[in-house]
Amino acid sequence: MTKTLVIYVHPVEGSFNSCVRNVVVEHLSKHDHEVRLRDLYAENFDPFLSATERDLHHTPPTTRPELVRDVEYLRWCEAIVFIYPTWWSGLPAMLKGWIDRTWMNEVAWVLPAGANTIRPQLTNIRRLVAVYARLIKIC
């Protein structure tokens, strides 16, 4: 069984992207994946990385209790599937904010005292998939 974290990013339920999400989650579930879904818009995730939080970026994740679930999910999963629309040739700001806020010290990396290079922490993740929807008929 593969532990799979699905990060879904689209503001409109009933959109093409929500259909893609449903198909992906259903397929993964039928094929021996334990799936956890984060719907960033529906869950009102705050993508804003404040100056104060940026100052805390090198501190343990316990300094940001609103991110505890995300930290736990990142440490739990073996695969991540990102489902998002391509806006202006890039990923949505909501997804960029999620990555900026959650892939922090002691989660995605660690910089030991006196070291000049970081060490990766998310070595549990073996697969990373991005599904950025193009206009194809799947639903």
DSSP symbol at 27: H
| CA atoms of 18 and 24, how far apart (whole Å) | 10
- Cβ atoms 91, 132 nearer than 8 A: yes
Domains of the chain by start residue, with CATH: 2-132 (3.40.50.360)
Q: State the pairing for strand pair 2-8/109-110.
A: unpaired
- What pLDDT, on a 0 to 100 scale, did the predictor assign at position 134? 55
Dihedral pair phi/psi, residue 88, rounded to 5°? 50, 45
Letter string b/e over residues 83-117, b meaning 16 or more CB atoms within 10 A of that residue's CB: bbbeeeeebbebbebbebbbbbbebbeeeeeeeee
Please tell me the pTM assigned to this model: 0.90
Residues 28-49, mean pLDDT to the nearest whole number = 97
Q: Predicted confidence band at 63 (pLDDT cuts at 50, 70, 90)?
A: confident
pLDDT, tens digit, 9 for 90 and up, residues 71-83 = 999 999 999 999 9
pLDDT digits (tens, 9 = 90+) for 111-137: 888 889 999 999 999 999 998 765 545
